[in-house]
Structure 1
Amino acid sequence: MKTIKVVAAIIIENGNVFATQRGYGEFKDGWEFPGGKVEANETPEDALVREIKEELDTEIEVLELLDTVEYDYPKFHLSMECFICKMKSGDLILKEHEAAKWLTKETLDSVDWLPADEGLIGKIEEYLGRN
């Protein structure tokens, strides 16, 4: 099975977490943490900064690795490094996503997460509880 290596930004501002809804492809309408594929000769952190600039016209600071999710979709294996991030500048303009919202610790499970992202919710709740 082919492995796709991606990165995801868990953008946290004032205790709220930014979530995006896919506007395209096989997983259209599912909710996810924004990010994308890591290109050759790119660190995961550099890939994440680039992807968020491209997708959301926003500069982020990557703070720490929260988790690496390994998930088997029917057609591929996803390896997703998920980083806690904060905004440096920009307005989170949706260029590829259908919708977005800020979620609180209490509302994190109120959207229909894609399977790989869903596994992060408990860890994000723990992180928010500590910080």
Structure 2
Amino acid sequence: MIKVVCAILEQFDRVLVTQRSERMQEPLLWEFPGGKLEPGEEEEECLAREIWEELSLRIQPILRLQPVIYAFPDKDIELIPYICTYQSGVIQLSEHKAYQWAHPQDLLSYSWCPPDIPVAKDYLRTKGAAS
């Protein structure tokens, strides 16, 4: 089981979503940015590191949501989402093709990477914005 953390980064009543590049698995699908936990690394520490490496942003994880277990054909992952706040930085994409600051009510209209779908729904329930 591969543990992966992801950031639901909030700023100005919007949420950051990123589009996977053509060279990534699940190409061109949207996801909440994040990455794999390294041995001995704390979840919040990993998330801050990954968001800095991938997007050049400093963030603060605030609230851990329900993890999602997902079985891909070649691996199983546990996706661990955190609602986060923006601290500093300007987005510079190093791995992703694109990004958007989405209104929460628009989140379910994206073509999501499969494990991110239940994360988006749980986030909306948590925020009381589920449709």
TM-score band by shorter chain is: over 0.9
Aligned to 2:68: 69
Identify if the C-alpha distance between structure 1 residues 59 and 86 changes in structure 2 by more than 3 Å, giving closer, same or farther: same
Aligned to 1:35: 34
RMSD: 1.2
Structure 2 unmatched ranges of 5 or more: none
Aligned length: 128
Instruction: Report matched runs for 1:110-125 at 5 Å.
Output: 110-125=109-124
Distance 1:99 1:58 in 2: 15
Instruction: Report matched runs for 1:89-104 at 5 Å.
Output: 89-104=88-103
Look up the equivalent residue of 1:80 and give its one-letter code: L
Distance 1:55 1:115 in 2: 20
Structure 1 unmatched ranges of 5 or more: none
Aligned to 1:54: 53
Structure 1's consecutive aligned runs of 4 or more residues displaced over 6 angstroms after TM superposition are none
Contact 1:15 1:128 in 2 (8 A): no
Normalising by structure 1, we get a TM-score of 0.92
Q: Cα offset for 1:106? A: 1.6
Look up the equivalent residue of 2:17 and give its one-letter code: A
**Identical aligned pairs, as a percentage?**
37
Higher strand fraction (1 or 2): 1
Q: Cα offset for 1:102? A: 1.1
Deviations 1:70-98 (A, max 9, x none): 11111111111100001100012211100
Distance 2:52 2:120 in 1: 24
Normalising by structure 2, we get a TM-score of 0.92
